[in-house]
Amino acid sequence: MLMPHLTVRQLPTLPPAIAQAPRLHVAIISDGNGRWATSRGLPRSAGHRAGAESARRVIEAAPRMGIHTLTLFALSSANWQRPAAEVQAILRLLQEYLLTETHHCIDEGVRLSIIGRRDRLPAALRQAIADSEAATAKGPRLHLRLAVDYSAREAIYHAACRFYKVTELSPQSFSTVLAEVHRGGSTEVDLLIRTGGEQRLSDFLLWECAFAEFVFLQKRWPDFTAADLDAAVKEFSRRERTRGALPDAIAG
């Protein structure tokens, strides 16, 4: 039956590079929380709390920008070298986020996955992760992946250890094994953003970033806004992605 009161919603036109990759995967190394806090005379944990707010803003804005997968580096495996109190504070914030935001994620069509090791996380957090993942599994609008106790090198190593048992040896099947190791899948990164002034990958998504475009920003993560994400996506859309082939203009 026709429903005359329903009109077809006009989709906004996206810039060409985004239109080509409508399922844009943006990964963010959200760095600079500690410096943001210390420069204000606050404890580093206040920087992580402000960073969690920044993450909320970005997650909300991402789907409007053609972003279908958003991976945020919440805690690196290398971060265990920090004082235990700081790591605990980050893990507590994560648990708080899962408990307060899961319903919001369901309402907003956000599917949440955690990538990384789970065996070193507190049991209550592991449970909160499993509950949020199950509750949001059908979210169609945005796949939000939080990297927690994550090391790309370790994930690749574990995938390689499993891979020798796989009968069909191909780069695709390796990606599949890596996706299993991650649990939250393994999709090519289109755009990698790093805040906080450093210009390095810090063991984040080494396999998936093979052809990613990089945007490095001085801004510290708690100061990062939806407008900054929009600007980075626009910068990405101006880049010519040849993947080693010739640019269209030269290739004719």
The only residue of 17, 18, 33, 228 in contact with ligand IPE, by rule CB under 6 A: 33
**Binding partner of 222, given Mg ion, ligand IPE, none, CB within 5-8 angstroms per partner class:** none
Residue 149 binds what, of Mg ion, ligand IPE, none (CB under 5 to 8 Å, by partner type)?
Answer: none
CB of 196 to Mg ion, least distance (A): 6
The two tokens of residue 174 are 């390796």
Place of tokens 């006009």: 10
31 catalytically annotated: yes
Residue number of the CB atom closest to ligand IPE: 34
**Does residue 149 belong to the site contacting ligand IPE (CB under 6 A)?**
no
Number of other residues whose CB lies within 10 A of the CB of residue 94? 21
| 32 touches ligand IPE (CB under 6 A) | yes
Q: Does 176 bind ligand IPE (CB under 6 A)?
A: no
Q: Is 202 in the site for ligand IPE (CB under 6 A)?
A: no
- Helix 84-108 vs helix 44-61: crossing angle, to nearest 10: 20
Q: How far is the CB of 47 from ligand IPE (least distance, A)?
A: 6
66 binds ligand IPE per the rule CB under 6 A: no
Q: Which of 31, 149, 190, 228 is catalytic?
A: 31
For residue 248, indicate whether it is catalytic.
Answer: no
* Closest residue to Mg ion, based on beta-carbon distance: 31
184 makes contact with ligand IPE (CB under 6 A): no
Q: Is 35 in the site for ligand IPE (CB under 6 A)?
A: yes
**Is residue 79 at the binding interface for ligand IPE, with CB under 6 A as the rule?**
yes
- Of 18 and 37, the one with the shorter C-beta distance to ligand IPE is 37
We find the least distance from the C-beta atom of residue 193 to Mg ion, in angstroms, to be 14
β 191-194/24-29 pair status: parallel
Give the 3-state DSSP-derived string for the chain, with helices as H, strands as E and coil as C.
CCCCCCCCCCCCCCCHHHHHCCCEEEEEECCCHHHHHHCCCCCHHHHHHHHHHHHHHHHHHHHHHCEEEEEEEEEEHHHHHCCHHHHHHHHHHHHHHHHHHHHHHHHHCEEEEEECCCCCCCHHHHHHHHHHHHHHCCCCCEEEEEEEEECHHHHHHHHHHHHCCCCCCCHHHHHHHHHHHHCCCCCCCCEEEECCCCCCCCCCCCCCCCCCEEEECCCCHHHCCHHHHHHHHHHHHHCCCCCCCCCHHHHC
**Which residue in the set 18, 31, 55, 136 belongs to the binding site for Mg ion (CB under 5 A)?**
31
Site residues (CB under 6 A) for ligand IPE? 30-35, 51, 75, 79, 90, 196
Catalytic residues, by residue number, are 31, 79
Site residues (CB under 5 A) for Mg ion? 31
